[in-house]
Chain A
Amino acid sequence: MDLAFTLNLVESTIRLSTPLLFAALAGLYSERSGIFDISLEGKMLIAAFASASAAAVWGSAFLGLFVGILAATAFSLVHGLASITYRGNQIVSGVAINFIAAGLTIILGQSWFSQGGRTPSLFGGGRFTPIHLPGADAAESIPVIGPIYANVISGQTILVYVAFLMVPLTWWVLFRTRFGLRLRAVGENPAAVDTAGISVPWLRYRAVIICGILTGFAGTYLAVAQAAGFTRDMTAGKGYIALAALIFANWKPVPVMFACLLFGFLDAVSIRIQGVELPVVGEISVQFVQALPYVLTVVLLAGFVGKATPPKAGGVPYVKER
């Protein structure tokens, strides 16, 4: 394994973990406030579709992002309405959103663009393109650090930088601001928040809206940065993997980043390992490698690795009256 191969692997790990990171942080806000959200998948999908459509029509990646965020936030508010205002079952609401997103994207895509559920291919300003950081070319000649800077740190799309900046930002919001304190409290003991004179529903709605915005980023990244347009079911379970990463990381921002990187790494390896003769085991079947992230998810969720302690009030609608 030479340096170029390693750098390439690291670079694609970062690329592949970006949508997971957006989605997992989205879930973190929602679940820390006590609203379980398995509709990350559906919201990413609708955002991917909405952003790709908008970018295709208007030719602007940023407009695409804006529309993607709007779409995901609208779905978030539906989940919020069901689980906060109407105190419904959060899992049922989440599953419903996933179904609606899967169906709606195909139907609307077919009726608007008539390309079998795809959106038109994006090009030029319709996509987020890699940003070359200053001095990247010049730095390449510096041993080790140079290539890392030039190939891994430089040359990513703006959304990748946003995703990784969201990690310290989320940590800071959660542990250093009033909003974060209340958010963490309402997920653990909403009655304590209520008796302290703070509105439980308003707090949870804000968390759900943030969740919508971040899933909007996640979906947009998939369709407008990583790929050049929307294809049906393009999230392919990433929302669930993000959820697994969130649980694996015990609902903490920095561990969430590492969990997402781990899943992204497995994904990157699975692409590279295909058709490669490995010593001892020989050629590994593509299916096996592709299944690895999901197998790991099951292993993690079954509690073989550490013990997950979810927010205590998660999934339970808050009812004040006896």
Chain B
Amino acid sequence: MAEPAIELIGIDKRFGAVRANKAIDLTVERGTIHGIIGENGAGKSTLMSIIYGFYQADSGEIRVGGKKVEITDPNAAIAAGIGMVHQHFMLVHNFTVVENVMLGAEQSPLLRAGIGKVRAELKRLEEDHGLDVDPDAVIEDLAVGRQQRVEILKALYRGADILILDEPTGVLTPSEADHLFEVLQQLRAEGKTIILITHKLREIMAITDNVSVMRQGEMVATRKTSETSVAELAELMVGRRVLLTVDKGEARPSNVLLDVKGLTVKDGRGVTMVDDVSFSVRAGEIVGIAGVAGNGQSELLEALSGIRRAEAGQISICGREIDPTRETDPAEIRRIGCAHVPEDRHHMGLVLPFEENENSVLGYQDDKRFRKGVLLDQNAMRRDAREKIEAYDIRPPDCRLKTSNFSGGNQQKIVLAREMERDPDVLLIGQPTRGVDVGAIEFIHKRIVEMRDAGKAILLVSVELDEIRALSDRILVMFAGRIVGERGPDATEGDLGLLMAGVEETPEAAE
């Protein structure tokens, strides 16, 4: 048997306290399309950046064609025949296609000779692979699919035998994605090796020969695509975690407090992330939104909390109609009685260099309680912060400490305390226990259930399936921006996993 195209042995990588890759072993056979799947943050992109020399592994070995190689920088990777198509394109937006392709591979100090060669080569690649693109077009004028094609051409021009594509379809329309797959199959037919990183199971099943699954920095399994199933992969991806149990009584839902109709939201790139979504949440119930990360949950939460403008739809909170297609003031939404625990506490929930008590009133700093004329009433702020520290057991109990000095779990408690203690009628919670230790998880779950029992309407978004199942009274599954199914709290993991993977309900499943 021929030597594998690329082998990884015991690759380890840390970023500060986070171990992004844990002793990864991977073998990719020559002339195959090898898929690597895992949720966002599973460590896929880090691993590929190591292969491409953008990061260095802390330990481990890379072998290309059976020979050990030291990939210290992208040059070494290019020399070893490895090309990469980055998730965020590495293109110079105001350069032409030719200029982008030749950047770093100019051949001589003067450009003239190189330009001719690039043009000839682009023409050849166009004829061989149908990768047509106007060589003189400026990148920013090209559609995203075309830009990606330039990235592929860049790699091929440098003589790549092994092509790594990082989430290549995330930004593509379905027809662009189909065309990309045709190109990849053609490249495979010519003996090129392709590594495809994605979190979309459907793509894996459609195009790959082998598939490896990553979860929380570990390589958990490698399968032949023909011998596995979407259900198995979904389960491997999400993982069987220790079942969380939450003590909760029967839900007693009453009137509708949050009502969403036909909500459509696009992200910054113009890709539709939430597609005509309608649902409602009643007082006294927890509605969980399950889904693999990146299927529109984040954009849904942002639209509901007034952070992101929607394209279409209606939202009603506590009986008040809100037009989400207009610029809304998140403070206005808060005043109506809808609190929001953002998914990413560092990015949206907290200002890390602030003192704890400042973060504890963030967003409510205009409140009369915390004001003395035009100034902030620091004593009132600190008194309030100390009460919350006490109630939520935030450690260390020091309201003057810089927020960045608290652990992740305690930071999360600061956000939760701030939002929950406002006694909102509607509570939007994103990833309540991300990066939170087990003890704090239990506490946070208990508070969420208490809120429910106090008659609040709670919308819970989490990528932790166990969390969704443990807390929710109803589960909505989101896939590709749509709500593809609704289940009760007793739905099985396999059932939810299939929905999350976008597998339409089959007649057999309905039986």
Known: A176-B111, A196-B74. A312 touches B93 (CB 8 A): yes
A177 to B110, CA, bound (A): 4
Known: A181-B99, A185-B92, A192-B92. A197 touches B112 (CB 8 A): no
Find chain A residues with CB under 8 A from B95 CB: 184-185, 188
Q: Is A192 a contact of B54 with CB atoms below 8 Å? A: no
A175 to B94, CA, bound (A): 13
Specify the chain B residue showing the minimal Cβ separation from A180. Answer: B111
Specify the chain A residue showing the minimal Cβ separation from B75. Answer: A197
Q: Which 6 A-B pairs have the closest CB atoms?
A: A196-B104, A197-B75, A192-B90, A197-B74, A178-B106, A195-B90
Q: Is B91 a contact of A189 with CB atoms below 8 Å? A: yes
Q: Is B103 a contact of A196 with CB atoms below 8 Å? A: yes
Q: What 0/1 readout, one digit per residue, does chain A (186-201) give for beta carbons within 8 Å of chain B?
A: 0011011111111000
B54 is contacted by which of A176, A178, A184, A195 (Cβ under 8 Å)?
A195
Find chain A residues with CB under 8 A from B93 CB: 188-189, 312
A195 to B100, CA, bound (A): 12
**Can you pick out 10 interface pairs between chain A and chain B where the beta carbons lie within 8 Å of each other?**
A176-B112, A177-B109, A178-B109, A178-B110, A181-B102, A192-B91, A192-B103, A194-B54, A195-B84, A197-B77
A189 to B95, CA, bound (A): 10
Most buried by A among B54, B77, B108: B54
Known: A176-B110, A185-B95, A188-B95. A320 touches B54 (CB 8 A): yes
Specify the chain B residue showing the minimal Cβ separation from A198. Answer: B104
Q: Is A177 a contact of B54 with CB atoms below 8 Å? A: no
B479 at the interface (CB under 8 A from A): no
Find chain B residues with CB under 8 A from A185 CB: 92, 95, 99, 103
Point out residues on B near A: beta carbons under 8 Å: 15, 52, 54-55, 73-75, 77-78, 84, 86, 88, 90-95, 99-100, 102-106, 108-112, 114
Find chain A residues with CB under 8 A from B84 CB: 195
Find chain B residues with CB under 8 A from A188 CB: 92-95
Find chain A residues with CB under 8 A from B91 CB: 189, 192
Q: Is A197 a contact of B106 with CB atoms below 8 Å? A: no
Q: What 0/1 readout, one digit per residue, does chain A (151-180) give for beta carbons within 8 Å of chain B?
A: 000000000000000000000000111111
Known: A195-B54, A320-B54, A322-B15. A184 touches B111 (CB 8 A): no
How big is chain A's contact interface, by range? 20 to 34
Q: Is A177 a contact of B90 with CB atoms below 8 Å? A: no
**Chain A binding site: helix, strand, loop or mixed by DSSP?**
helix
Known: A181-B102, A188-B93, A189-B92. A195 touches B86 (CB 8 A): yes
**Chain B binding site: helix, strand, loop or mixed by DSSP?**
loop
A322 to B49, CA, bound (A): 12
A135 to B55, CA, bound (A): 64
A192 to B55, CA, bound (A): 15
Find chain A residues with CB under 8 A from B86 CB: 195
In whole Å, how far is B3's beta carbon from the nearest beta carbon of chain A?
25
A43 at the interface (CB under 8 A from B): no
Specify the chain A residue showing the minimal Cβ separation from B88. Answer: A191
Find chain A residues with CB under 8 A from B109 CB: 177-179
A181 to B91, CA, bound (A): 13
Most buried by A among B75, B77, B88, B90: B90
Find chain B residues with CB under 8 A from A196 CB: 74, 90, 103-105
Specify the chain B residue showing the minimal Cβ separation from A191. Answer: B90
Find chain B residues with CB under 8 A from A320 CB: 54
19 additional contacts (CB under 8 A) given A178-B110, A185-B95, A195-B54: A176-B110, A176-B112, A177-B110, A178-B109, A178-B111, A188-B92, A188-B94, A188-B95, A189-B92, A191-B88, A192-B103, A193-B103, A193-B104, A195-B84, A197-B73, A197-B74, A197-B75, A197-B104, A321-B55
Q: Is A195 a contact of B52 with CB atoms below 8 Å? A: yes
A15 at the interface (CB under 8 A from B): no
In whole Å, how far is A128's beta carbon from the nearest beta carbon of chain B?
32
In whole Å, how far is B344's beta carbon from the nearest beta carbon of chain A?
14
Q: Is B74 a contact of A194 with CB atoms below 8 Å? A: yes
Find chain A residues with CB under 8 A from B110 CB: 176-178
Q: Is A195 a contact of B74 with CB atoms below 8 Å? A: yes
In whole Å, how far is A303's beta carbon from the nearest beta carbon of chain B?
19
A79 at the interface (CB under 8 A from B): no
Most buried by B among A175, A181, A182, A195: A195
A182 to B95, CA, bound (A): 11
A188 to B285, CA, bound (A): 50
A164 to B169, CA, bound (A): 50
A179 to B108, CA, bound (A): 10
Most buried by A among B74, B94, B103: B103
Find chain B residues with CB under 8 A from A182 CB: 103-104
In whole Å, how far is A194's beta carbon from the nearest beta carbon of chain B?
7
A258 to B102, CA, bound (A): 32
Specify the chain B residue showing the minimal Cβ separation from A182. Answer: B103
A194 to B78, CA, bound (A): 12
A181 to B102, CA, bound (A): 9
A181 to B94, CA, bound (A): 12
In whole Å, how far is A192's beta carbon from the nearest beta carbon of chain B?
4
Specify the chain A residue showing the minimal Cβ separation from B76. Answer: A197
Specify the chain A residue showing the minimal Cβ separation from B74. Answer: A197
Find chain A residues with CB under 8 A from B78 CB: 197
Specify the chain B residue showing the minimal Cβ separation from A175. Answer: B111
Q: Is A181 a contact of B74 with CB atoms below 8 Å? A: no
A195 to B108, CA, bound (A): 19
A192 to B100, CA, bound (A): 9
Specify the chain B residue showing the minimal Cβ separation from A185. Answer: B92
Specify the chain A residue showing the minimal Cβ separation from B108. Answer: A178
Known: A176-B111, A197-B75, A321-B15. A189 touches B102 (CB 8 A): no
Task: Kindly identify, within residues 264 to 317 of chain A, every residue whose CB is under 8 Å from any CB belonging to chain B.
Answer: 312
A193 to B95, CA, bound (A): 13
A251 to B299, CA, bound (A): 38
A281 to B90, CA, bound (A): 58
A321 to B54, CA, bound (A): 9
A251 to B94, CA, bound (A): 14
Specify the chain A residue showing the minimal Cβ separation from B86. Answer: A195
Specify the chain B residue showing the minimal Cβ separation from A172. Answer: B110
Known: A194-B54, A195-B90, A197-B78. A181 touches B112 (CB 8 A): no
Find chain A residues with CB under 8 A from B104 CB: 182, 193, 196-198
A47 to B334, CA, bound (A): 59
Find chain A residues with CB under 8 A from B88 CB: 191
In whole Å, how far is B270's beta carbon from the nearest beta carbon of chain A?
19
